[in-house]
């Protein structure tokens, strides 16, 4: 299905996991995709995958928490093909701590990437999106709905993303711009690999509340993002879609 023919999409976090799957799916649906991430090499791999499957993609390295880099990236994306129809904010970082041990600098860094990054890309993209009746998909998390033990920093950041997305939706909806979010949970990506766990945690409780056998690949999120980016979601605004198999954890 080619629901995004003629459209231009900007995807952050496009070098890995969900962001990469989203970039590939949007390209398969006909969008020209401007891919952004922290590291150049994985980003180039995503672009090569898009190109080898017949799509069109460009890559640009960008730290989403850096205002000047975000501004330059959005300007470059809009200039590349003369328009910007869609923004997917997929970049993010995760960490675990006992809540009473969270260091301010660690809290600040997660907020900088997950909240400032989403804010900066939305702010810079909105003027371009308004010109074409475009839309935004941000990435919240099941943790922003249900909380997440030892994920105090992360769930706080994703709660902010949820509120930010709803606000953009109600502020700009009557001007033709839609903003929605997805809340993934239990998606198999590199994110949780190598994340340091605090002492004494027991994650086995998570297995007890899974509604479906997980985890699932990032493509299950990409399909929903593509739907939200397309005219199939023309009357969906300010919505958050959980993609977690019913886990809510």
How many residues interact with ligand NAP (rule CB under 6 A)?
29
SS (H, E, C) 11-49: EECCCCHHHHHHHHHHHHCCCEEEEEECCHHHHHHHHHH
Return the number of the residue (163 or 175) whose C-beta is nearest ligand NAP: 163
Task: With residue 116 as reference, give the H or E element that holds it.
Answer: none
* Minimum separation from the CB atom of position 135 to ligand NAP (A): 18
Calpha distance 246→249 (Å, rounded): 9
Query: Can you tell me which of 8, 23, 90, 177 binds ligand NAP, judged by CB under 6 A?
Result: 90
Binding residues for ligand NAP restricted to 144-183, rule: CB under 6 A: none
Q: Is 134 in the site for ligand NAP (CB under 6 A)?
A: no
* Minimum separation from the CB atom of position 160 to ligand NAP (A): 12
Query: Can you tell me which of 24, 93, 177, 241 binds ligand NAP, judged by CB under 6 A?
Result: 93
Binding residues for ligand NAP restricted to 57-86, rule: CB under 6 A: 62-65
Q: Is 24 in the site for ligand NAP (CB under 6 A)?
A: no
Query: Can you tell me which of 11, 185, 222, 242 binds ligand NAP, judged by CB under 6 A?
Result: 185
34, 150, 154, 172: which is the annotated catalytic residue? 154
Calpha distance 27→233 (Å, rounded): 18
- Residue 116 catalytic? no
* Minimum separation from the CB atom of position 151 to ligand NAP (A): 10
133 dihedral zone (left: phi>0; alpha: psi -120 to 50; beta): left
Q: 109, exposed or middle or buried, with CB in 10 Å at 0-12, 13-18, 19+?
A: middle
DSSP states of 160-201? HHHHHHHHHHHHHGGGT-EEEEEEE-SB-SGGGTTPPPPTT-
Return the number of the residue (209 or 234) whose C-beta is nearest ligand NAP: 209
Binding residues for ligand NAP restricted to 103-132, rule: CB under 6 A: 113
Report the candidate in 232, 224, 245 with the shortest Cα–Cα distance to residue 137.
Answer: 224
Q: Which residue has the tokens 């649906």?
A: 29
Interface residues toward ligand NAP, by CB under 6 A:
13, 15-19, 37-39, 62-65, 90-94, 113, 139, 141, 184-187, 189-191, 218
Residues with active-site annotation: 154
């Amino acid at each position: 299905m080619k629901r995004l023919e003629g459209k231009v999409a900007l995807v952050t976090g496009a070098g890995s996991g969900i962001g990469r799957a989203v970039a590939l799916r949007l390209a398969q649906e006909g969008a020209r995709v401007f891919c952004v991430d922290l590291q150049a090499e994985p980003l180039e791999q995503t672009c090569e995958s898009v190109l080898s499957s017949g799509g069109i993609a460009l890559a640009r390295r960008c730290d989403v928490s850096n205002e000047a880099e975000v501004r330059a990236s959005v300007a470059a994306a809009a200039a590349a093909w003369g328009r910007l129809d869609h923004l997917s904010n997929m970049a993010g970082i995760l960490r675990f701590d006992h809540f009473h041990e969270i260091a301010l600098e660690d809290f600040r860094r997660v907020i900088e990437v997950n909240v400032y990054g989403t804010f900066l890309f939305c702010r810079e993209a909105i003027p371009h999106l308004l010109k074409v009746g475009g839309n935004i998909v941000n990435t919240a998390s099941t943790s922003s709905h249900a909380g997440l033990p030892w994920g105090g920093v992360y769930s706080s950041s994703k709660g902010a993303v949820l509120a930010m997305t709803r606000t953009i939706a109600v502020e700009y909806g009557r001007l033709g711009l839609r903003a929605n979010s997805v809340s993934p949970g239990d998606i198999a990506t590199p994110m949780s690999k190598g994340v340091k766990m605090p002492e004494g945690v027991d994650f086995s409780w998570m297995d007890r509340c899974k509604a479906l056998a997980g985890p699932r690949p990032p493509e299950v999120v990409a399909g929903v993002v593509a739907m939200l980016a397309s005219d199939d979601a023309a009357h969906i605004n300010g919505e958050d879609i959980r993609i977690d198999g019913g886990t809510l954890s």
